[in-house]
């Protein structure tokens, strides 16, 4: 038996990287998954390769009007949603002195607004039967990084809205757990797009390497499963020792 047998999950940003790896891991553990992404072509391709336990829906997580239809399609196709992975995110290199306000708002619209909206509709749809909401954050939600100013702002906020929402659900007696996952640098299209930085990024991690998308997916499987039933409002760091220094 799989750890997620009978569960229905929504994974945003699922066309590649952590989202795609976690979708595959969820399916391997018995879940049915609704994949969403702005990249319609790649999302449809990956869904077709994974098989009939997944469907793909094109979604811009920053647009509130697109969230209800994702949950409605999931419920119509597979049944009530048990797991939501708020994974979709973008990155721009900038700093506190020269950042552009348009870029700052662009980062926040996806990396923060997308998570805020996911939580909102996840809570609304899970509050009767329960579930697990997982917010894919970053070590940038725990520590400052000089050339990731806007990204720091978004991920730092995700860390705390996770805790706020988790406590709200406890207060309301909703059987919903909400946690954040904080990867270090890992092999994803977002990181691998900068091969000239690989050696310097590896050196930041005491384990001497970057993480893999599968290693992050394994943490998400744990949080999606009933094995993490006493964890809510918590931070799960998967960073090869980066933040232990």
Checking DSSP bridges between strand 32-37 and strand 54-58, what pairing results, if any? parallel
Q: Tell me which residue of 70, 173, 190 sits closest to 118, measured CA to CA.
A: 70
Burial 170-208 (b: 16+ CB within 10 A, else e): eeeebebbbbbbbbbbbbbebbeeeeeeeeebeebbeee
Active site residues: 151
Beta carbons of 106 and 86 less than 8 angstroms apart: no
Rounded to whole angstroms, the Cα distance separating 133 from 137 reads 12
Q: What is the Cα–Cα distance from 228 to 215, expressed in whole angstroms? A: 17
Alpha-carbon span 154 to 175, nearest angstrom: 27
Cα–Cα distances (Å) from 43 to 29, 38, 87, 144, 186, in that order, read: 21, 8, 14, 32, 21
């Amino acid at each position: 038996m799989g750890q997620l047998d009978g569960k229905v999950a929504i994974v945003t940003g699922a066309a590649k990287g952590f989202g795609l790896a976690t979708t595959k891991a969820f399916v391997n553990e018995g879940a049915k998954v609704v994949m969403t992404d702005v990249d319609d072509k790649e999302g449809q391709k990956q869904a077709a390769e994974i098989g009939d336990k997944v469907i793909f829906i094109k979604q811009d997580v920053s647009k509130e009007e697109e969230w209800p239809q994702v949950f409605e399609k999931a419920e119509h196709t597979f049944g009530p949603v048990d797991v939501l992975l708020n994974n979709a995110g973008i990155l721009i290199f900038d700093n506190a002195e020269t950042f552009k306000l348009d870029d700052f708002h662009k980062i926040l619209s996806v990396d923060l607004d997308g998570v805020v909206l996911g939580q909102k509709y996840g809570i609304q749809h899970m509050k009767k039967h329960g579930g697990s909401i997982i917010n894919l954050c970053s070590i940038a939600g725990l520590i400052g990084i000089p050339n990731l100013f806007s990204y720091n702002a978004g991920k730092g906020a995700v860390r705390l809205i996770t805790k706020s929402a988790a406590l709200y659900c406890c207060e309301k007696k909703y059987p919903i757990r909400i946690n954040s996952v904080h990867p270090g640098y890992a092999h994803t299209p977002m990181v691998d797009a900068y091969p000239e930085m690989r050696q310097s990024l590896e050196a930041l991690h005491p384990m001497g390497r970057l993480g893999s998308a599968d290693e992050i997916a394994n943490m998400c499987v744990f949080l999606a499963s009933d094995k993490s039933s006493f964890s809510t409002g918590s931070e799960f760091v998967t960073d090869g020792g980066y933040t232990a220094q």
